[in-house]
A = this chain, B = another copy of it.
Amino acid sequence: MATKLTGREIQLVARPRGLPTPADFRRATVEVREPAADEVVVRNLFMSVDPYMRGRMNEGRSYVPPFRVGEALDGASVGEVLASRSPALSVGDLVVSGRGGWREYHVASASAYERITRSVEPLSIHLGALGMPGLTAYVGLLDLAKPKAGETVFVSGAAGAVGGMVGQLAKIAGCRVVGSAGSPEKAEGVVRELGFDAAFDYRQEPPKPALERLCPEGVDVYFDNVGGEHLEAALAAMKPFGRIVACGAISAYNATSPAPGPRNLPLVIGKRLTIQGFIVSDHLDRTGAFRADVGRWLAEGKVKSRETVVNGLDQAPAAFISMLQGGNVGKMVVKLA
């Protein structure tokens, strides 16, 4: 590149206590370094904000290294190659990466990117239905919970990126699907737009009576994105030999002290339940099958992708904070440039 390129990025100023605030983040303009051999420069078009990022803002080891205070955040992004020193990628190629987000430009080895095409639009779908959230739903539901036709599947966070896909995949598997969401509109939306059999607004009706009302025969599979009261209610509603897949616990992510666990956890014994925690990054070998299946279902209209788009890198912290509070319908993405 002839002149020095500069770009904006979002840095972590302080580790949030409880719900993050805008003051925990700052925008900085930094010089974009020259690519070394085998590296490319990517200009981001979209970036992802995801619940798991909240955990990375805390100190201490987790399954992903914590973000560093004073440095840029990172996460999934979709962009286009601006300069290349690798034979694997050419200028103009569209790529998705797992760590390129929260900034305008990203420089890394070409092997950190995967080329995508415009065959499916919008490109941000690679951050949602065809990206990590979609794979999370696919692996957690189909590989781990293994729902059978006729079974009842309950999913919390049903209007979110993962939950919405879980419900649609469960419908394809022939299940009855019930979801919880954080507003009447969201609950209605997953039924009307995504084909759930029923849904409830957990802010109006606690999960326990809602499940008694909507799943009087009990629940075979619970896909947990929320934890807390939802998990306790699901334990009470589970049928014998039910399977709980523990994907997330968003109700706990902003807690400043750990909340008590479900009082009825001993039910796992008498009901012979399985609770299985998982992380999508252990299952990347399923990416091919996932893309083939979900790509086909998208094309056939059997799966719908929904997203909430926020414009501009400067709005990324607000988008992230809003997502943690349920401000999104479908995948929350930030459109850059």
Residues of A within 8 A of B (CB): 55, 62-63, 227, 231-232, 240, 246-249, 252, 258-279, 282
Q: Which of B248, B264, B270, B277 contacts A62 (CB 8 A)?
A: B270
Q: Which of B240, B248, B274 contacts A269 (CB 8 A)?
A: B248
Q: Which of B265, B269, B276, B279 contacts A247 (CB 8 A)?
A: B269
- A207 CB to closest chain B CB, in angstroms? 15
In the complex the two chains form, what is the Cα distance from A266 to B260 in whole Å? 11
Contact B227 A246 (CB under 8 A): no
Determine which residue in A240, A266, A271 has the highest number of CB atoms from chain B within 10 A of its CB, and name it.
A266
Q: Apart from A246-B266, A249-B266, A259-B263, what 5 extra A-B contacts exist at CB < 8 Å?
A: A249-B265, A260-B260, A261-B264, A273-B277, A274-B276
- Give the residues in chain B near A269, CB-CB below 8 Å: 246-249, 277-279
Contact B261 A262 (CB under 8 A): yes
- Give the residues in chain B near A262, CB-CB below 8 Å: 261, 265
In the complex the two chains form, what is the Cα distance from A57 to B248 in whole Å? 37
Q: Which of B240, B248, B265, B266 contacts A265 (CB 8 A)?
A: B265
- Give the residues in chain B near A275, CB-CB below 8 Å: 268, 274-276
Contact A277 B277 (CB under 8 A): no
Q: Which of B246, B274, B279 contacts A277 (CB 8 A)?
A: B274
Contact A270 B279 (CB under 8 A): yes
Contact B263 A261 (CB under 8 A): yes
In the complex the two chains form, what is the Cα distance from A268 to B248 in whole Å? 10
- Give the residues in chain B near A263, CB-CB below 8 Å: 258-261
In the complex the two chains form, what is the Cα distance from A282 to B55 in whole Å? 39
In the complex the two chains form, what is the Cα distance from A247 to B240 in whole Å? 15
In the complex the two chains form, what is the Cα distance from A259 to B260 in whole Å? 9
Q: Which of B240, B260, B271, B278 contacts A272 (CB 8 A)?
A: B278
Contact B282 A277 (CB under 8 A): no
Contact A274 B272 (CB under 8 A): no
- A244 CB to closest chain B CB, in angstroms? 9
- Give the residues in chain B near A277, CB-CB below 8 Å: 267-274
Q: What are 16 inter-chain pairs, A to B, with CB distance below 8 A?
A: A63-B271, A227-B265, A227-B266, A246-B266, A248-B269, A249-B269, A252-B266, A261-B261, A261-B262, A269-B277, A270-B279, A271-B277, A273-B276, A274-B275, A274-B277, A275-B276
